[in-house]
Amino acid sequence: MTSLNQIWGCEACGNIVTILHKGIDALVCCNQPMVLQKENTIDASHEKHIPIIEGNKVKIGSIEHPMEESHYIEWISATDGKITARVFLKPGQKPEAEFCFAPIAARCYCNLHGLWTSS
């Protein structure tokens, strides 16, 4: 079974999807199974990828993550347990986002190093 808010990716075309309603564990893209994106599992600097929650703001990394064309944080999502919101970022922007609520958990996605979570 899939679970709410899981992130799945296609290794062929790069599509990424979020589960909004759980179902059978058989996501397919490009005629092959999609892969569940596991948080904090890619061998990369944790200091540059772990989301840090400061009030209504989420910053990526105790050492600021690069925001270059070839390596950047694509999005930051946060939840307060009721609301879940996502901010999409572009190269050149700061790796941070401000929300209209106080997050209790946050995730981000690095184009090279995948999915990371605050908890």
- Which residues contribute to the site for Fe ion (CB under 5 A)? 110, 112-113
**Considering beta carbons, is residue 44 or 53 the nearer one to Fe ion?**
44
**Considering beta carbons, is residue 32 or 45 the nearer one to Fe ion?**
45
**Considering beta carbons, is residue 27 or 107 the nearer one to Fe ion?**
107
Min separation Cβ 106 and Fe ion, Å: 16
Q: Which two tokens stand for residue 80?
A: 């307060």
Around 63, how many Cα atoms within 13 Å sit in the side-chain half-sphere? 6
Q: Which two tokens stand for residue 21?
A: 């309603």
Min separation Cβ 71 and Fe ion, Å: 6
Q: Which residue is nearest to Fe ion (CB)?
A: 110
Min separation Cβ 103 and Fe ion, Å: 21
Instruction: Say how many Å lie between the first and final Cα of the chain, rounded.
Output: 22
The sign of the torsion formed by the CA atoms of 46, 57, 64, 88 equals positive
